[in-house]
Structure 1
Amino acid sequence: MSAVDEARPKRGAPKRGTPRSERAILDAAYGLLTQEGLEATTVEAIAARAGVSKVTIYKWWPNRAAVITSAFLSRSEDTLPYPERMTRDEIGAALLRMADSFRGTTGAVIRALIAEAQVDPGVAQAFRDGYLNARREHGRQIIRTAIAAGVIRQADPDVILDLLYAPLYFRLMVGHQPLTDEAVRAHVELALDGLLTE
């Protein structure tokens, strides 16, 4: 990667501005998302709530979708963690924390973003690039390390991530069954019986 590539802002990421204004914008966007819904979270509404101009927002983010995704990411990074080691206990604990987040505000926002992504290509791209793809690369690195150490079986890291995480997203989005801790524990046991080399 060249120095130019490294300096170029990632799609969906804000350009650096005044920290206080940036925080106010992200807080305003997240507040609107959780209180009024995605449709009401317009650039105009965000600017009014944050006490800034629309021009200020567009200086730091290319579009509404990028602001919304950045606001979501600013609140979700700590609540949707990957395990640092691929052990039964750490994977189980991480997925239980994720399920707990999905049962609250984070889950409601993810549902709204995924639904909006079906009709708004900008939201779809910002959500994939800013949230899914960025997080999955971290997950792939953890899985490659575990495979190299002989902890889990040799397999495509993307398939392993889907195996572990897709059932939680499925219950979140489809709602055919509740996303309970009991369901998560049962899923972890079945999945890891096939993955772990122990």
Structure 2
Amino acid sequence: MGEPAAPGRKSIGAKRNPESADAILDAAEAVLAEAGYPGFSIEAVARRARAGKPTIYRWWPSKAALLIEIYQRQKRVEVPDTGALEEDLAGFLVNLFAHWRDTSSGNVFRSLIAEAQSDKAAAAALADYAKGRRAHTGRMIERAKARGEVAADIDAELVADLVASFAWTHLLTNRLDEDEATIRTAVRYVVQGVTPP
């Protein structure tokens, strides 16, 4: 049999050991907080977590995949279910802007979007994340369809992309302090385009 794992390393192959994965994610968050995105590397995370780089790469195939998991781990954005589409979307955007503005998550996500412009692994990780978010936001549209607020033939995920494009534009141009009235106006423009006559 091989040697026992060193303290701090409890990898059991390709299957994630939850304790080790949490230690790596904790280390990654600490590296991000201390060194920022420019100083973030798998090597720095491995040193901090006392884990092997192969273990990290086995569980997260790229730096971007690890960063997206950190982002998702930190993300605490309430998605309202008020029974009215405009209220749900406006509340969601207000909460998202506050989260991006008031935590390190906005900087992490902005950096991921930037890296995705020149790194294929980052672009693939971001595309996978965006697909899941599109479906998640699309559920608000589907709920509104079920209530008769939205025409039955509307593509919920396309509407979700419209909402995301508004959010991402504000993130990338550092306009996360947009007032709620402007957010509500943008939502109203989207909703008026999808409500049945």
* Structure 1 residue 177, shift from structure 2 partner: 8.2
Normalized against structure 1, the TM-score is what?
0.77
**Which ranges of structure 2 fall in alignment gaps of 5 or more residues?**
1-13
Q: 1:99 aligns with which of 97, 100, 106?
A: 97
Q: 1:182 to 1:146 in 2, by over 3 A?
A: closer
Q: How many residues align?
A: 181
Residues of 2 paired with 1:40 and 1:169: CA distance? Answer: 24
Structure possessing the higher radius of gyration over alpha carbons: 2
SS of equivalent residue, structure 2 residue 69: helix
1:3-41 Cα shifts (integer Å, max 9, x gaps): xxxxxxxxxxxx542222211111222232344232322
Please tell me whether the aligned partners of residues 138 and 157 of structure 2 are also in contact (alpha carbons under 8 angstroms): yes
Residue 143 of structure 1 aligns with which residue? Answer: 141
1:133 Cα shift? Answer: 0.8
Find runs of 4+ consecutive structure 1 residues off by over 6 angstroms. none
Alignment of 1:56-75 (within 5 A): 56-75=55-74
Distance 1:135 1:117 in 2: 17
**Residues 49-58 or 38-47, more deviating:** 49-58
Q: Deviations over 1:117-167 (max 9, x none)?
A: 1111111111211x2111212333442343244221342223311222311
Equivalences for residues 154-193 of structure 1 within 5 A: 154-175=153-174, 178-193=177-192
2:95 aligned partner, one-letter code: R
Superposition CA RMSD, Å: 2.5
Match of 1:134 in 2: 132
User: Quick one: higher RCO (CA 8 Å, sep 6+), 1 or 2?
Assistant: 1
> What is the TM-score when the length of structure 2 is the normalising length?
0.78
* Cα deviation, residue 61, structure 1: 2.2
Checking the alignment, whether the CA contact within 8 Å between 1:33 and 1:41 is kept in structure 2 is yes
Alpha-carbon distance in 1 for matches of 2:120, 2:15: 25
Question: Higher mean Cα deviation, 56-65 or 175-184?
Answer: 175-184
CA distance in 2, matches of 1:151, 1:196: 6
Identity of aligned residues (%): 30
Contact 2:101 2:177 in 1 (8 A): no
